Structure formats: structure tokens, C-alpha cells
Structure 1
Amino acid sequence: MTTTDQTPVPAPAQRIDLPTVAPDVYEAIVALNKAAAHGLDPMIAELVKIRASQLNHCAFCLDMHSRDARKLGLSEQKLYGIGVWRETPFFTARERAALALAESVTRLGDHGVPDDVYDEAARQFDENELARLIAMCITINAWNRVGVTCRLSPAAR
């Protein structure tokens, strides 16, 4: 007879508590996040945060922003489809443009953000929204790097 152990595996120990050790740095990222969010559709912001967090393997941010998106009304089906958004019919043209831009900013290859990705985002968002969207992509990537480097872990529920 075999049994399966259902005990969760503990997360790696956190390395450093950035808000305590460098509160000015932490507050600067908080301020950037607040500025980026001003005037940006909150659901678009959460989709971008989730997708970048998936790509960057930031469990802490992925957990947080998935919960935040659900609170805003994101369906489970759409939430589960974010990682394969191109293959689903669940996302609007604006959401698709935002997700594509988030992926390009996150993966930032040798040639930067492709013109077609940027141009589609510019068609879907007015200039102010586009600026905020770019800033949100930058901000979540900064948060992801804090989370991954410091080994932040989501709380078990």
C-alpha cells in the first residue's frame, strides 16, 4: 500500500526584507507603481502584472495579483487563460495589446519591443494610457525582481 504525503513543501527562506533594510528604495517602487496605475484600467493593470509575474516566475506577485484580479471580477476561466492568451477567445483587443506589450517589455530581447507590438498598443490606448501601461510593465518587472531575488513567498491558505 502506498500513501501520498499531502504536506506542503516549505518555500525557501526569504533572503532580505527590502522594506525594512532599504525603506527608501521600497517606497520609490511603491510611488512608481501608484503613478503608473493613475488613469490605467485596473483590470488591464492586473492582467499585465499577472502575465509578467508568470514569465518572471515570481510566485509572490502571481499569487497577489491573481487574488486582486479576482476581486475586480476576473473570471476563473480568463485567469487560467492568461498564460495562453493568444490561443483563447477570452480577451479583448485592448487586453491582448496590453498582454503583448507586457510580454515584450518583460522579455526585452536584443531588438527591444517590436514595432508591431508597440503600434498595436498605441492603437488600443490613448497616449496617456499607453504611457501608464508602459510604466506598469516596468513597475511589475521591478517588483518581480525584488520578489524573486529576495525569495518572497506567498502565504499558504
Structure 2
Amino acid sequence: MTTNTTTGRGAGPHGPRLNWSEHAPEVFKAMLRLETAAKKGLDPALVELVKIRASQLNHCAYCLDMHITDARKAGETEQRIYFLSAWEEAAEAYTEKEQAALALTEAVTVLTDGFVPDTAYERAAAHFEDAELAQLIALITTINAWNRFGVTCRLTPESLK
């Protein structure tokens, strides 16, 4: 994730609040390293689907803009991007493995509903080897952290600048 260049604070209800990466550069660098490590060995298309879905759930417009753009550049179809917010209704657009990853993404992202259900974890475990599953969990955790920075600081999506 990159950050915008706005340095203003309290820019209003919809404007950027803080360029956190400028004021916490070591944290930003650590997040970049974490993201690189988290996605290692995972299918790039799956990585973007997970990032988009978590960003939808977290209402992070900045990350949505970035990862939809990245998914398109990586060859993801418009249809699969459009259906992602309702992937269970359009299950035939996604592989079983992708569906399992998306279910786990939702369970980890929406912890306010309780713990990650065994069914979501076991579904993912059936499609991912242990090392790959550990990477997937790290990826989901990482995008959720990026989303929290983006939403809290109200980062402006690149396409709206």
C-alpha cells in the first residue's frame, strides 16, 4: 500500500486526516516488509481477491481503489471483481479454493461476529497446505491492518485525486 501526500489534519468529515506513513515511517516500512512476506508463495490473483474482499468489508476506499486497479493489471476479469461483494451468490465465478479463502477472509475480518468459525477454518485448510494456509492468514491480517490505517486516516483513493 502506498499513502497519499496530504499532510493536513482534521481536513473535514471526508477529507484526509493524517499522512501516517510520514509520521511513523518505521511502522510503514515494517508494514511493507510484512506484506511482502505475507503474500509470498500465494497465487497473485488470490492475493488481490482477498485484499479486495477485506477492503470491501472494512469500507476502505483507498485500498479498494488500489487493489481493484492491481487486479485488473494482473488480468482479473471485471465480472469477478464486480461479483466479489456477493461471491457466495456468484460462487461459480470462483474456484473452490478461492471460495474457501474468501470465507476465511470474511471470518478473520469480521471478528465482531465472534471467533473464526471452525467451518471457515476447516474449509480453507482443506484447500491449502499448512504453510500456504499460514501465508493466507498472514495476508488477511496484513490487509486488515492496511485497511485500518487507511480508514482511520481517511486516505484519499488515487483515482479521486
Structure with larger Rg: 1
1:5 corresponds to = none
Equivalences for residues 127-146 of structure 1 within 5 A: 127-146=130-149
Q: For residues 61-101 of structure 1, what are the alpha-carbon distances to aligned partners after superposition, in whole Å with 9 as ceiling and x for unaligned? A: 00100011111111101110000000111000010001000
Q: 1:90 to 1:118 in 2, by over 3 A?
A: same
Q: Which runs of 5+ in 1 are unaligned?
A: 1-10
1:96 corresponds to = 99
Alignment partners' CA distance in 1, 2:84 and 2:159: 22
TM-score, normalization by structure 2: 0.88
Question: Of residues 97, 106, 109 in structure 1, which corresponds to 2:109?
Answer: 106
2:128 corresponds to = 125
Equivalences for residues 37-56 of structure 1 within 5 A: 37-56=39-58
Equivalences for residues 1-157 of structure 1 within 5 A: 12-88=14-90, 89-109=92-112, 111-156=114-159
Q: For residues 82-141 of structure 1, what are the alpha-carbon distances to aligned partners after superposition, in whole Å with 9 as ceiling and x for unaligned? A: 000001110000100010000000001353110011001011011111001000000000
How many residues matched?
Answer: 148
Q: Which runs of 5+ in 2 are unaligned?
A: 1-12
Alignment partners' CA distance in 1, 2:30 and 2:142: 10
Checking the alignment, whether the CA contact within 8 Å between 2:66 and 2:158 is kept in structure 1 is no
Alignment partners' CA distance in 2, 1:156 and 1:95: 27
Q: 1:156 to 1:110 in 2, by over 3 A?
A: closer
Alignment partners' CA distance in 2, 1:13 and 1:86: 34
Alignment partners' CA distance in 1, 2:42 and 2:159: 30
Alignment partners' CA distance in 1, 2:18 and 2:84: 30
Q: 1:21 to 1:113 in 2, by over 3 A?
A: same
TM-score, normalization by structure 1: 0.90
